[in-house]
Amino acid sequence: MSLQTRTPLVAGNWKMNGLLSSLDEVRSLVKILKSKQAANSEIAICPPFTLVGAMAECLRESDVAVGGQDCHPDQSGAHTGDISAEMLADSGARYVIVGHSERRHDHKESDLVINSKVQAVWRAGLVAIMCVGETETQRDQGKTLDVVTGQLHNSLPDGATAENAVIAYEPVWAIGTGRVPANSDVAEVHAAIRGHLKERFATGGEMRILYGGSVKGSNASELMAIPNVDGALVGGASLRAEDFDAILEAYRP
């Protein structure tokens, strides 16, 4: 399937930011979206757990989907402080980010744990946005492709399809730093991810591969034009409606 037939996804990751008052930004975004030509992409925002339900309510009449930023592998039980994928679905989420580098690092999440979380997302009928990416040291050591394909091999379960899984390539050193890899480096990693997906999955050619790491309005068009880049996972620039909308410009005719 060609690039044109993969509907791009632009997903915002609010991380540990946002209070109920921040929903005003979401209302502003809906207003902006209504006032402009529709972007040729799907849009999602992944707020902290505390806002998933309220944001879903806020976005009910819009085409903007809501996602969680993590989930526990189990459906329910004695896991103080954790949230299940079923709870996210119940709150109105459609997507769940899994395996973000901040979780891999801060919570020592292994590929095995991430694999079980992706399966939990599917059990709840949601779509996993599964993150992979190398650290700066790994890039300097020439290990980028091995790291990324290794993460895919171990974290992405066998049942992945174009409908239940989205891959986000996020070089760890580019997250929140303002630094972005060269276009040729992005192209090389996305091509390797595409190769892995095609080899393993019947719909590997149709799965979306997002780029994430310091995406903003000023670099989105260039990044989104790279072959096999099917959208973006956006951190900092997703917090303000105008900044997020500037990224969507990349997909406006």
Residue 215 Cβ vs ligand PEP, minimum distance, rounded to whole Å = 5
Query: Is-contact 112 157, C-beta < 8 A?
Result: no
Residues 7-36 that bind ligand PEP (CB under 6 A): 13, 15
Please spell the DSSP secondary structure of 220-235, one letter per residue: HHHHHTSTT--EEEES
* Residue closest to ligand PEP, measured at CB: 235
Q: Strand 231-234 and strand 42-46: pairing?
A: unpaired
Tokens of 62: 């819009």
**Cβ closest to ligand PEP, residue 124 vs residue 215:** 215
Residue 194 Cβ vs ligand PEP, minimum distance, rounded to whole Å = 20
Residue 107 Cβ vs ligand PEP, minimum distance, rounded to whole Å = 15
Per rule CB under 6 A, is residue 68 in the interface with ligand PEP?
no
Residues sharing a CB contact under 8 Å with residue 215, sequence separation 6 or more, in sequence order:
180, 223, 232, 233, 234, 237, 247
Query: Is-contact 117 99, C-beta < 8 A?
Result: yes
Per rule CB under 6 A, is residue 214 in the interface with ligand PEP?
yes
Per rule CB under 6 A, is residue 213 in the interface with ligand PEP?
yes
d(CA 149, CA 170) in angstroms, rounded, equals 13
**Cβ closest to ligand PEP, residue 84 vs residue 214:** 214
> What is residue 218's DSSP assignment?
H
**Cβ closest to ligand PEP, residue 86 vs residue 190:** 190
Whether 153 is catalytic is: no
Per rule CB under 6 A, is residue 231 in the interface with ligand PEP?
no
Per rule CB under 6 A, is residue 170 in the interface with ligand PEP?
yes
The active-site residue out of 100, 109, 190, 196 is 100
Tokens of 29: 């975004």
Please spell the DSSP secondary structure of 17-29, one letter per residue: ---GGGHHHHHHH
**Cβ closest to ligand PEP, residue 201 vs residue 223:** 223
List of residues contacting ligand PEP (CB under 6 A) = 13, 15, 170, 175-176, 212-215, 233-237
Q: Catalytic site residues? A: 100, 170
